[in-house]
Amino acid sequence: MPQPAWQKSSFSSGGEGNCIEMAAITPSRINLRESDRPHETATAAPRALAHLLRTVKAGLLSR
């Protein structure tokens, strides 16, 4: 199986390892990882991830 093509977030900061990376595994599955912990991944469906990102951008998460 080919290795995923990881892409860094456009909001990633310099070289300190504070990066979120994403890779489309299939059309229905996206993997996410922290760049300083590359062996730990989370998987999301594209629609669910898009909903989460819209919610975060809108500032609607409770603290």
Closest CA relative to residue 32, chosen from 17, 48, 43? 43
Residue 52 parent element (H or E)? helix 46-57
Cβ-Cβ contacts under 8 Å for 2 (sequence gap 6 or more):
none
22-38 residue pLDDT tens: 999 999 999 999 988 88
Q: Could you tell me the two tokens for 1?
A: 């199986």
- For the whole prediction, is pTM greater than 0.75? no
Cα angle for residues 16, 19, 17 (degrees, 5° grid): 25
**Each residue's pLDDT tens digit, 41-58:** 999 999 999 999 899 889
Q: Render pLDDT for 9-20 as a digit per residue (tens, 0 to 9).
A: 777 666 566 688
- What is the reported pLDDT for 13? 64
